[in-house]
Amino acid sequence: MSVRTEILGSSLLITIDRPQARNAVDAAVARGIAAAIDQLEADPNLRVGVLTGAEGTFSAGMDLKAALKGESPEIDGRGFGGLTETQTTKPLIAAVEGFAMGGGFELALACDLIVAAEDAQFGLPEVKRGLVAAGGGVIRLPQRIPHHLAMEFLLTGEPVTGARAAELGLVNRVVAPGEAAAVALQLAERLTANAPLALAAVKKIVTAAHGVPEADAFEAQRKEMAQLMGSADVREGMQAFAERRQPVWTGR
């Protein structure tokens, strides 16, 4: 299998498993990631997904050899790797070791949080091949870091280390090599302590508020809050606070 999944508590560890190809994304990987995301979304006991790559490499991006044979690394409606255009309700954390190049970087950008080894390599080298980073790179990167820094990535195609990515604000945690997945899973456990409906609402509001007038953003937020306030989890959260105990979330 090109993509493995493992349930660890309330988290789903999703591993791209093509180390012989530096975990490059072909059609099978795209289908595997899409299936893993479906598993995450469908299982109410799973709260967070962690995406990583096998044997010290996140992903070298699109498998050019497979593409030359006519394979597509995209899935209609879901984007590159079955992920970059997918709307998920549950948080995703990228755990990056080694190369996150081209589409690999774009998979990480599609996640909500990024944990990276200090010596990881992030880059969008598509211009060196006559292409552009069309899996979300040219769209998302200028939204995440200042314009001129994003343009340096996109126009030079040169990579930066995980440590430098953290300095630019692209990475949540920088860790020693080999520790990214473990730290990402620890971070996932912190998220799973929170109400799943609230986590989903945060994601929806952030997405709805991007690039729209403030009044429209607040209107979108009001709609989400109206649904959230009617949930059993909100009542449970308030009751648990009053009773000085940990809440027991049901996702309802």
Active-site entry in 126, 179, 214, 236: 126
Q: Is residue 118 annotated as part of the catalytic site, yes or no?
A: no
The tokens describing 203, both together, are 């994601």
- Indicate the DSSP class of residue 1: -
Active-site entry in 106, 158, 179, 236: 106
Handedness of CA 165, 203, 12, 2 (dihedral sign): negative
Q: Is residue 106 annotated as part of the catalytic site, yes or no?
A: yes
- Indicate the DSSP class of residue 83: T
Element of type H or E holding 15: strand 11-16
Tens digits of pLDDT across the chain (252 residues):
899 999 999 999 999 999 999 999 999 999 999 999 999 999 999 999 999 999 999 999 999 999 899 999 999 999 999 999 999 999 999 999 999 999 999 999 999 999 999 999 999 999 999 999 999 999 999 999 999 999 999 999 999 999 999 999 999 999 999 999 999 999 999 999 999 999 999 999 999 999 999 999 999 999 999 999 999 999 999 999 999 999 999 999
- In the CATH hierarchy, which top-level class contains the domain 3-192? alpha beta
